[in-house]
């Protein structure tokens, strides 16, 4: 009766359903709220970061129309919707993730018996992109920053010297950087688990950052004039200038992580097993650099490894792990020797 009063149903529709013994199905379909209303309720219940909610809203609004019935949310509809978006596999995975979260909400509120996106084999997931293995040394990051102009030069220095994400750096304020200990707080702009405190800033980037730190108020954004679009464009120009077209902005965190592995710690020098782990990583890095013909020395990779005792310890570990030892690491006994030369 409510449906008739609201003109969602007509008397002939009710009579036809009764005559065909389909009245229960008609009532269930009529009383089920539309996905548009459920979509809005799901978005209102989210407790994610504001930027994440904006992205979810744009994607789910594009896929789920206001008048769509909950019964139409099935595996076939999900497959057809993703196929008709006309986006890359990487973007399709983002849309599928949003659909999966929305399906969890519908299942949790007993609108659906199960979430079809979660059901194994019902919805084919877009192909994963190849894993990125690009990383570069301090010399490359320093040259890339030199090729940029301010304020991008300071911004790139902070990104490449901390491994921070693009959106996190754009959200950082002056108070997030400790210029005494040279550590920083990287805010979690996407999820709270990405919020990191006490992240070391590599020493090579400190000269690039001193001016912006000196002239910025504590609560002010470090880079208020830079946007997500302009930082990408400026980084593309800088990497082209230094002839590193493969070096994307997101590869900064990989470079930072590899250099952190290559940089020895006091604990690794005291414990033979830990030193062995570090030396194995250095051996792989030296082989990779040699195969690429990089004009980089092992000294530049080890960074703070400067004393004769430390060099001797690494050379001894190289002998133990690698038979006669790696010639680059073995040469640590003679710090004046050039270990890697650029191929002709």
DSSP 3-state assignment of 211?
A: helix
Quick one: average pLDDT of 172-186? Answer: 92
Contact 39, 61 (CB under 8 A): yes
User: Exposed (0-12), middle (13-18) or buried (19+): which is 70, by Cβ within 10 Å?
Assistant: middle
Q: Quote the pLDDT of residue 90.
A: 86
Nearest to 301 by CA among 312, 313, 287: 287
Range scoring the smallest mean pLDDT among 31-45, 190-204, 222-236, 273-287: 273-287
Q: What is the CA radius of gyration of the chain?
A: 28
In this predicted structure, the answer to whether residue 317 has a pLDDT above a threshold of 80 is no
Sign of CA dihedral 293, 294, 295, 298: negative
Q: Quote the pLDDT of residue 101.
A: 93
In this predicted structure, the answer to whether residue 162 has a pLDDT above a threshold of 80 is yes
pLDDT tens string 230-252: 999 999 999 999 999 989 998 89
Q: Quote the pLDDT of residue 232.
A: 93
pLDDT tens string 114-141: 899 988 888 888 888 777 778 888 889 9
Angstrom distance (rounded) from CA 245 to CA 21? 67
Quick one: average pLDDT of 316-325? Answer: 58
Angstrom distance (rounded) from CA 11 to CA 6? 12
Quick one: average pLDDT of 89-118? Answer: 89
pLDDT interval class at 289 (50, 70, 90)? low
Please report which helix (H) or strand (E) contains residue 177, including its range. strand 177-178
Q: Quote the pLDDT of residue 123.
A: 86
What is the Cβ-side half-sphere exposure of residue 86, based on CA atoms within 13 angstroms? 1
Mean model confidence pLDDT for the chain: 78
Percent of the chain with pLDDT over 90: 33
Between 113 and 28, whose confidence is greater? 113
Pairing status of strand 196-200 against strand 183-186 = antiparallel
pLDDT interval class at 178 (50, 70, 90)? very high
Residue 23 CA, chain-centre distance (Å), reads: 51
In this predicted structure, the answer to whether residue 150 has a pLDDT above a threshold of 60 is yes
In this predicted structure, the answer to whether residue 293 has a pLDDT above a threshold of 70 is no
DSSP 3-state assignment of 63?
A: helix
Q: How much is the pTM?
A: 0.60
* Residues 6 or more apart in contact with residue 137 via CB below 8 angstroms: 255, 259, 289, 294, 296, 300, 301
Q: Quote the pLDDT of residue 141.
A: 93
Q: Where are the alpha helices (DSSP H) in the chain?
A: 2-5, 11-19, 23-31, 35-45, 50-63, 75-83, 89-108, 138-147, 152-162, 166-171, 206-214, 228-241, 252-262, 266-270, 272-292, 298-302, 308-321, 327-330
Quick one: average pLDDT of 186-198? Answer: 78
DSSP 3-state assignment of 217?
A: coil
Beta bridge partners of 221: 173
In this predicted structure, the answer to whether residue 18 has a pLDDT above a threshold of 70 is yes
* Residues 6 or more apart in contact with residue 75 via CB below 8 angstroms: 116, 117, 119, 122, 123
Buried b (16+ CB within 10 A) or exposed e, 130-143: eeeeebbbbebbbb
Contact 200, 177 (CB under 8 A): no
Q: Quote the pLDDT of residue 60.
A: 93
């Amino acid at each position: 009766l409510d449906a008739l009063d609201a003109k969602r149903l007509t008397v002939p529709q009710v009579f036809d359903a009764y005559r065909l013994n389909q009245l229960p199905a008609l009532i269930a379909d009529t009383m089920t709220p539309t996905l548009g209303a459920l979509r809005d309720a799901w978005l209102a219940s989210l407790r994610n970061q504001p930027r994440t909610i904006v992205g979810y809203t744009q994607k789910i609004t594009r896929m789920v129309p206001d008048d769509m019935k909950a019964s139409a949310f099935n595996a076939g509809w999900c497959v057809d919707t993703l196929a008709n978006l006309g986006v890359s596999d990487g973007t399709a995975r983002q849309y599928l993730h949003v659909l999966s979260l929305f399906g969890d909400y519908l299942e949790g509120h007993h609108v659906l018996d199960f979430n079809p996106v979660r059901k194994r084999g019902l919805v084919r997931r877009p192909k994963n992109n190849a894993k990125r293995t690009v990383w570069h040394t301090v010399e490359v990051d320093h040259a890339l920053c030199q090729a940029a102009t301010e304020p991008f030069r300071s911004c790139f220095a902070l990104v490449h010297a901390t491994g921070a994400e693009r959106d996190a750096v754009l959200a950082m304020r002056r108070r997030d950087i400790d210029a005494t200990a040279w550590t920083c707080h990287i805010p979690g702009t996407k999820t709270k688990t990405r919020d990191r405190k006490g992240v070391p800033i590599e020493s090579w980037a400190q000269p690039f950052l001193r001016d912006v730190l000196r002239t910025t108020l504590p609560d002010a954004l470090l880079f208020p004039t830079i946007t997500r679009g302009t930082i990408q464009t400026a980084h593309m120009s800088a990497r082209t200038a230094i002839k590193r077209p493969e070096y994307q902005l997101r590869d900064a965190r990989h470079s930072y992580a590899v250099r952190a592995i290559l940089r020895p710690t006091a604990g690794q020098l005291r414990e033979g097993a830990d030193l062995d782990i570090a030396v194995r990583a250095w051996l792989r890095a030296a082989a990779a650099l040699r195969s690429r013909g990089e004009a980089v020395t092992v000294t530049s990779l080890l960074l703070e490894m400067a004393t004769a005792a430390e060099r001797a310890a690494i050379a001894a570990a190289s002998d133990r792990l690698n038979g006669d030892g790696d010639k680059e690491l073995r040469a640590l006994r003679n710090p004046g020797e050039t270990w890697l030369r650029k191929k002709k």
